[in-house]
Amino acid sequence: GAVVSQHPSWVICKSGTSVKIECRSLDFQATTMFWYRQFPKQSLMLMATSNEGSKATYEQGVEKDKFLINHASLTLSTLTVTSAHPEDSSFYICSAKEGTQPQHFGDGTRLSIL
């Protein structure tokens, strides 16, 4: 149980394009979803927290207009990197939790901007 599916797993695109990443909870209702960014050999950096039906809460230093988060249902959240540039290249990971249950992670999306 507690499976989180994240797609795509890998994306390469040109500078200036927008990229959407999906995060789905397959067998539970994700009342809260989190988006993280992870640089090589480093820990997870929380970007934002979203509760279903509410606006996401962004961490300090994370541009909300750059990283658009939508959590429109209890099983789906999306992260859109708008006008992506090479410095946005990274490993993006979502996680989801139901109520006070532990959070479970997707397998991440490796984003490469050329």
Residues 83-102 that bind other proteins (CB under 8 A): 93, 95, 100, 102
User: In this chain, which of 17, 49, 70, 89 binds other proteins, going by CB under 8 A?
Assistant: 49
Minimum distance from CB of 87 to other proteins (Å)? 21
Mapped onto helix, strand or coil, the DSSP state of residue 99 is: coil
Residue 88 in 3-state DSSP?
Answer: helix
Q: Which residue's CB is nearer to other proteins, number 54 or number 83?
A: 54
**Rg, the chain, Cα only:** 13
The yes or no reply on residue 60 touching other proteins (CB under 8 A) is no
Which range touches other proteins (CB under 8 A), out of 13-21, 35-43, 68-76, 80-88? Answer: 35-43
Token output for 63: 């541009």
Binding residues for other proteins (CB under 8 A)? 4, 6, 32, 34, 41-44, 46, 49, 93, 95, 100, 102-108, 110
